[in-house]
Chains A and B, each alone.
Chain A
Amino acid sequence: MVTRKTGYPIYVRILLLIASLLVLLPLTGCQRRLDEGEVREFIDKADNAARKRFAPEICELRGKDFELHLKFQGHEEQFEPTELTMDRKLFCKEAGKFSRLRQYKLERNSIEINLANDGKTARVKSEYVETLPYYEPDIMPATPDDFREFQLVETTDESVVGIESGDIVFLRTDSKSSQSLIAKNSVSLPYD
Chain B
Amino acid sequence: MRALAGPAMLLVMVGGFLVFRLTSKEDAPSRDFTALEFSGADADHTGTCYSLDTILIANRQGDAVRTWTSPRDDVWTLKIENVVGGYSGPVHIFQTYTFEKHDQQVRLTSVDASKGLPTEIAQNIDTLLEGPKAWRSTPIDRCLEPGATGYLFEPRR
> Which A positions have Cβ atoms within 8 angstroms of B?
7-9, 11-12, 15-16, 18-19, 70, 72-74, 76, 79-82, 84-86, 89-90, 93-94, 97, 135, 137, 177, 179
Contacts and interface: CB of A to CB of B under 8 A. Distances in A.
A170 to B, nearest CB: 18
A97 B63 contact: yes
A6 B83 CA distance: 60
B88 A84 contact: no
Question: A-B pairs with the 8 shortest C-beta distances?
Answer: A79-B88, A72-B89, A82-B89, A84-B92, A74-B89, A12-B6, A15-B9, A74-B88
16 contacts: A8-B2, A9-B6, A12-B5, A70-B90, A73-B89, A74-B87, A74-B88, A76-B88, A80-B88, A81-B88, A81-B89, A90-B65, A97-B63, A137-B85, A137-B86, A179-B89
B122 interface: no
B91 A84 contact: yes
B144 interface: no
Contacts of B53: none
Nearest to B66: A89
A134 B23 CA distance: 41
A15 B92 contact: no
A90 B6 contact: no
Interface string B65-95: 1010000000000000111111111111000
Contacts of A8: 2, 5-6
A176 B82 CA distance: 20
A85 B67 contact: no
Contacts of B87: 74, 76, 79, 137
Contacts of B6: 8-9, 11-12, 15
A8 B92 CA distance: 59
B9 A16 contact: yes
A12 B9 contact: yes
B5 to A, nearest CB: 5
Contact of B90 (A18, A84, A135): A84
B117 interface: no
Given A84-B83, A86-B92, A93 B65 contact: yes
Nearest to A76: B87
A89 B13 contact: no
A8 B5 CA distance: 8
B10 interface: yes
Contacts of B10: 15
Contact of B91 (A76, A82, A179): A82
Most chain A CB within 10 A, of B6, B81, B88, is at B88
B148 interface: no
Nearest to A18: B13
Given A15-B9, A94-B83, A89 B88 contact: no
